Structure 1
Amino acid sequence: MSDDMTRVVLPTGIELEVLDTGPRDAETLVFLHGFPENHRTWRHQIAHFSGRYRCIAPNQRGYAGSSNPQEASEYTIEKLMGDVEHMADALGVGKFTLVGHDLGGVVAWAMALTGAMKDRIKRLVIANAPHPFILSSLLYLNQHQRAASQYIRHFRDRENDAMIREHGLLQLLVKALDFEGAASMEDAERKLLLKEWANPDTAMAMINWYRAGLAEVPPMDAPYELPADYSLPPLPNVAIPTLIVWGMNDVALPVANLDGLDALVDDLTLEKVEGSGHFVTWEAPDKFNAALETFLTAR
């Protein structure tokens, strides 16, 4: 269960646990995990690709044994993007393919949209993480997405802080998500996550990702219409080659998140994975790996 992790100290003082494996002179893949996991989200991908690619997978700030500052202000998207850039610099990485799932995908989308590291990110790969423009409108207009996102309102509610401090993350997941655990996850992986979630500082740090930003989530009784002052930032289309791998049974992010992607991404490859839910990286690893293999070869 123990990976050979490197501890990378960033110029900001943040320290990241990083799995850095594969040939150092090979093309590099950087993997960003999502909530509520760790770098092992990518265990099947790293096992498949690390013989031919340098694979770098950090525990992002707030997760596992990486630095876990307790203030929500330490988890802005700018700081999370900065972690990726500083990590790449520290590890001597030039150009690379950026791969993100869930909140890791949110960071990856942000980097592609803002042009962060634009001369170094060669390709973008997103696994069940919504384009921010599409999600933003769905939260106002789509009942399914709004209902599925109500857990974020629980995560942002400071009245839950005492519970997090006393019990860690699991009780909040049960309260906000009716969480019963992932049946298809290996027991060893589940036990590892439960151990990490039990640390109250880690639990609070993970929740701070939701408190520092992301889209506003209206309550269920709010009107299903865009606010009068609704606007989107003037960001360009994603121009780099982009692969979207989407587990089609995702209950947190309905397939409406795929509508309109081709108008926002200039070079889009979309792989729909039937029979898989949100955690497509390990629920359907063979299909994910095959899609990524084809994409890396073609682009």
Structure 2
Amino acid sequence: MARLLHNLLLLTVGLTLKIRVMGYWSLIYGYCALCTGVALLKLGWNIILRPSTTFQWTVRETPPACLNDTSLGTHCYVRIKESGLRFHYVAAGERGKPLMLFLHGFPEFWFSWRHQLREFKSEFRVVAVDMRGYGESDLPSSTESYRLDYLVADIKDIVEYLGYNRCFLVGHDWGGIIAWLCAIHYPEMVTKLIVLNSPHPCVFTDYALHHPSQMLKSSYYFFFQLPYFPELMLSINDFKALKSLFTSRSTGISCKGRWLTTEDLEAYLHALSQPGALTGALNYFRNVFSVLPLSQSEVKSPVLLLWGERDAFLEQEMAEACRLYIRNHFRLNIISGASHWLQQDQPDIVNTLIWTFIKEGEGRKNYRNL
């Protein structure tokens, strides 16, 4: 009798868990289906109201002047023998000074670090990379080419081809994910890690699986798995959706004095309007479920995590949870009123906090490793 009751209890618990999981994923996929349906309705409505302009978009052939601003640095290229890909980057500061490497997020490119390139070139060799599939870097056509292990290997190879074996690594959004993984897999390469609005990958996975609110905020991950349709929705009406990401009240840059100028916005549209550019950027999401084996998930480098309080895509609670995976010094700063686009929204505060973090502990001169 006792054994029967025990088995019945186990069966009840098992069924409850399965029902909970099914309900959870039904909620997520139902929400994604709803969003896709709304997107289709909007598309149909636009076709009815503006049939001649809905499917129009302009490929920007001439880059705006701000992309050639010499105060930001010099445009350079490096071809990695292992992957065969050519990467574009903008570099400033004297060669031989410690390397500070910047990794951008979606849907950005090197230009998102313009305020930091000017700020840190006095004491660092600052390099802002166009990551694989972005800007003037090569855009592999295969979705498989954007696996996480390839993206991490790119950064290691770039650091080595720049003539360094260590760097101060700074990443935002997707660049933050890659920066975390670089620090985990190549701890000897990362002197200090600085991440903006991007939680440790394990924190994000665990939190999203247990908090529907975050999964709903990340529902676009599922939408982006669709072929062709996301590219269409992002480019119709001359990239209206992309413009909205940076300028709307809910998701855009919130600091009034830092709103993107018309020329700044054109810089983004120039990069993203090139043939294949949107597909390259979206292929990061289409490989987000690829598994990058982690023998350990702890980060040995000192870590600074900066977080915009008004991030529309990420729950703030994840920021503090990152502390569990840091073996070294960890500093978290949540910036009041700041949006997801932190380094552009509040550059003065971000730069000050980075300087403070860099100067903590051992001096910079100890890291002049070539």
Q: 2:240, 2:261 → 1: CA distance?
A: 21
Q: Give the TM-score taking structure 2 as reference length.
A: 0.70
Q: What is the match of residue 209 of structure 2?
A: 140
Quote the residue 2:268 is aligned against. Answer: 193
Q: Distance in 2 between matches of 1:86 and 1:239?
A: 20
Q: Which letter maps to 1:70?
A: S
> Per-residue deviation at 1:48?
0.7
Task: State the 4+ residue runs in structure 1 displaced beyond 2 angstroms.
Answer: 161-175, 177-183, 213-216
More helix by share: 2
Matched, 1:73 2:157: no
Q: 1:79: Cα distance to partner?
A: 0.8
Distance 1:69 1:165 in 2: 20
What is the letter of the counterpart of residue 209 of structure 1?
Y
Relative to 1, partners in 2 of residues 1:156 and 1:17: Cα closer, same or farther, differing over 3 Å? same
1:1-299 alignment runs, 5 A limit: 1=66, 2-3=68-69, 4-11=74-81, 12-114=83-185, 116=186, 118-158=187-227, 160=229, 163=232, 170=239, 173=242, 180=248, 182=252, 184-214=259-289, 234-266=295-327, 267-299=329-361
1:251–1:142 Cα change, 3 Å: same
Contact 1:239 1:265 in 2 (8 A): yes
Change in Cα spacing, 1:7 to 1:159, as seen in structure 2 (3 Å) is: closer
Q: Which amino acid aligns with 1:152?
A: Y
Q: Distance in 2 between matches of 1:146 and 1:162?
A: 22
For structure 2, the residue ranges without an aligned partner over 5 or more in a row are 1-65, 254-258, 362-370
- Residue 66 of structure 1, CA deviation: 0.8
**Contact 2:159 2:166 (C-alpha < 8 Å) held by counterparts:** no
Aligned residues: 281
Give the Å deviation of 1:39: 0.7
Deviation at 1:190, TM superposition (A): 0.6
CA distance in structure 2 between the aligned counterparts of 1:214 and 1:179, rounded to whole angstroms: 29
- Residues 168 and 60 of structure 1: is their aligned pair in 2 closer, same or farther, counting only changes over 3 Å? farther
* 143 and 85 in structure 1: CA distance in 2 versus 1, 3 angstrom threshold: same
Change (3 A) 1:198 1:84: same
Change (3 A) 1:172 1:71: farther
Counterpart AA for 1:25: G
Q: How far does residue 171 in structure 1 lie from its aligned partner after superposition?
A: 6.0
2: distance between equivalents of 1:93 and 1:286? 28
Rounded Cα–Cα distance in structure 1 between residues aligned with 2:141 and 2:84: 14
> What is aligned with 1:229?
none
Contact preservation (8 Å) 2:168, 2:192: yes
**1-structure distance, mates of 2:261, 2:235:** 27
Q: Per-residue displacement from partner, 1:78-136 (whole Å, max 9, x unpaired)?
A: 1111111111121112321111000000000111122x2x3221111100012111111
Output one character per residue of 1:200-254: Cα deviation in whole Å (capped at 9) or x when no partner: 40110110011112489xxxxxxxxxxxxxxx95524211100001111101011
Once residues 168 and 209 of structure 1 are traced to their aligned partners in structure 2, the CA distance between those partners, rounded to angstroms, is 24
What is the alpha-carbon distance in structure 1 between the residues aligned to residue 246 and residue 98 of structure 2? Answer: 41
Per the alignment, residue 30 of structure 2 pairs with: none
Report the equivalent of 1:227: none
1: CA distance, partners of 2:179 / 2:170: 7
2:196 and 2:342 in contact (8 A); partners too: yes
Contact 1:166 1:200 in 2 (8 A): no
SS state of the match for residue 188, structure 2? coil
Structure 1 Cα separation of the partners of residues 184 and 215 of structure 2: 24
CA distance in 2, matches of 1:112, 1:85: 10
Does structure 2 retain, via aligned residues, the 8 Å contact 1:77–1:213? yes
Root-mean-square deviation (CA, aligned residues, Å) is 2.6
Change (3 A) 1:146 1:197: same
C-alpha distance in structure 2 between counterparts of 1:24 and 1:257, whole Å: 37
Can you list the C-alpha shifts for 1:6-65, whole angstroms capped at 9, x where unaligned? 011111211111112101121110110110011111111111110111101111110111
Q: Secondary structure at the match of 1:269?
A: strand
Distance (Å, rounded) in 1 between the aligned partners of 2:120 and 2:188 = 23
Q: Deviations over 1:142-199 (max 9, x none)?
A: 1221111011111111251672798599366589x79858352222111111122222
Change (3 A) 1:168 1:97: farther
Asked if structure 1 preserves the Cα contact closer than 8 Å seen for 2:320 and 2:332, the reply is no
Q: Is the 8 A contact 1:169 1:200 kept in 2?
A: no
Where does structure 1 lack aligned partners over 5 or more consecutive residues? 217-231
Give 2:190's aligned amino acid: I
Query: Aligned partners of 1:185, 1:162: CA distance in 2, in Å?
Result: 23
